[in-house]
Structures are given as structure tokens and as C-alpha cells.
Amino acid sequence: MSQEAWWASGSFWRKSAIWITGLSFIILIFLTFDSMSYIKAGGKQVPNYAVINQRVDYQFNEAQNRYLPVIGPEEPLFGKKLTEDEAMAMVSKGKLNVQSKNCMDCHTLLGNGAYFAPDLTKSWLDPYWGSKESREQTMVDFLMDPSNKLHNGIGRRMPNLGITEDEARATVAFLKWMSAINTLGFPNNFKAMDQSDAPAPIAAPVAVPDAAAATPATGAPVQQ
């Protein structure tokens, strides 16, 4: 048989490979540009750094059927209200600390990393820190000297990584900011620390895409 079927021909598949790869990559580039509008600080799903001046909560949203961050009234971190630039500098130092101490090779951030220690995505809201009044100092103390603190019943402990007080406070700022990212409901069923002794949250600048189209840029109130 000398006539080769088109589907068995090398040149057909070579051309297909080139076209499919090129087309997929062009779609990816387009989606990348679009995604940036969601994930830049102050974008549709990632808050401005100054969100650390406000209360951040994480609650189940009936309308969207998933857990979402809820941004509440003013509650400056360490009692000091920061400008957007100051907040960015603080969060950035915290992120640098997270990288230079290699946190990601024990913990996960947004679910990515290692599985030897708890996920940090919503760690700002973890009931482990006690009350919301003592939380900031408890976190700073823990980060600076974790080795002798009670962690769990299985003997696994975080080592002392030589974290200074400035680094610890910046890390807390980074964790608070990260907890305000709309992660589309991940982690599901996270039972956040009770922060309800103050007035109910007033606004949710972080919205999911469906809602974002219908809401003003500043965000709309979320029903509790």
C-alpha cells in the first residue's frame, strides 16, 4: 500500500503540534493579562496592602455558597494606622522574611508548599492565637521564639529561625494581608477566630468575579 492515510502522516501531526501549541500559548497569554487585573494589589480578588488597617474575617457566604473574606471596620495592626505605601513596605518585609526563612518548605501558603506544618493562608484568623486582643503579640512572641511554645500533642515544633521583632511584626502584617485574599473558598469550612465583640463588618472590597461585575469598585456590603 503506497497511499498513506492523512491521520498517519508525520507532516500532518507536525503541523498540528505547531498550531495547537501556538494557539494554546496565545490563549494563555491573553488569560494571563486578564488574571493580572484580578490579582494585583487592589484588584478584583486581592486587596490593597492598607487592608491591614481593617478587620479581616472569613465567613460563609450563602449567596455564593462558599467562604469569603469579609473586610470589617478599622482595626489597625499593632494599633497604628498606616498609609498604603507604609503598609506595602511592611507586608513586603514580611514576605521577604517568609522567603528568606524558607517557611514554604514546612508550611503551605495558599495551599502550596510543604505539608509538615499548618497552612498559613488564613493563619491570621486561627483560633489558636486566643482572643483577637492578644493575637498580635502572641503571634510576634511565637515567631521570635517558637521552640518552647506549646504546638500540639505530637512533639512537632517550629525551630528558632532568629526572627527579629521587626521581622516578626512584618510577618504578621503579611499574614493578615494574605488572609484577605479571595481564594474562592479555600480552605473550605475554616472556623475563624471569633471577632464578633465589635460592630458587624461593613464592607467587602474583595469580591468574586460574578459579583464584581455588578458591584462598584469599592465593593458592596455583604449580608452576614
Q: Between residue 121 and residue 180, which ones bind another protein under the rule CB under 8 A? A: 122-123, 126-128, 147, 151-157, 159-162, 164, 166-167, 170, 174, 178
Q: Taking CB under 8 A as the criterion, which residues in 194-213 touch another protein?
A: 208-210
Q: How far is the CB of 75 from another protein (least distance, A)?
A: 21
CB 201 within 8 A of CB 71: yes
- Dist CA 178 CA 95 (whole Å): 10
Which residue among 83, 191, 200, 224 contacts another protein (CB under 8 A)? 191
Q: Grid coordinates standing for 105?
A: 518548605
Does 99 sit near another protein (CB under 8 A)?
Answer: yes
Q: How far is the CB of 158 from another protein (least distance, A)?
A: 9
Which listed range, 76-84, 118-126, 133-141, 214-222, lies at the site for another protein (CB under 8 A)?
118-126
Q: Taking CB under 8 A as the criterion, which residues in 9-68 touch another protein?
A: 9-10, 13-14, 16-17, 20-21, 24-25, 27-28, 31-32, 34-36, 38-41, 44-46, 49
CB 74 within 8 A of CB 68: no
Which residue among 2, 3, 5, 8 contacts another protein (CB under 8 A)? 8
Q: Label residues 155-178 b or e (16+ Cβ within 10 Å = b).
A: eeebeebebeeebbbbbbbbbbbb
Closest CA to 158 of 145, 171, 170, 141: 145
Which residue among 72, 75, 81, 92 contacts another protein (CB under 8 A)? 92
What number of other Cβ atoms are within 10 A of residue 195's Cβ? Answer: 18
**Phi and psi, residue 211, nearest 5°:** -75, -35
Residues contacting residue 206 through CB under 8 Å, at least 6 positions apart: 45, 46, 47, 68, 69, 71, 180, 181, 182, 219
Which residue among 55, 95, 135, 176 contacts another protein (CB under 8 A)? 95
Which listed range, 71-79, 87-95, 195-203, 213-221, lies at the site for another protein (CB under 8 A)?
87-95
Residues contacting residue 105 through CB under 8 Å, at least 6 positions apart: 113, 114
Which residue among 105, 145, 165, 194 contacts another protein (CB under 8 A)? 105
Does 70 sit near another protein (CB under 8 A)?
Answer: no
Closer by beta carbon to another protein, 148 or else 223 = 148
Q: How far is the CB of 3 from another protein (least distance, A)?
A: 15
Which listed range, 76-84, 119-127, 133-141, 195-203, lies at the site for another protein (CB under 8 A)?
119-127
Residue that is written with C-alpha cell 479555600 in the block: 186
Closest CA to 169 of 106, 83, 76: 76
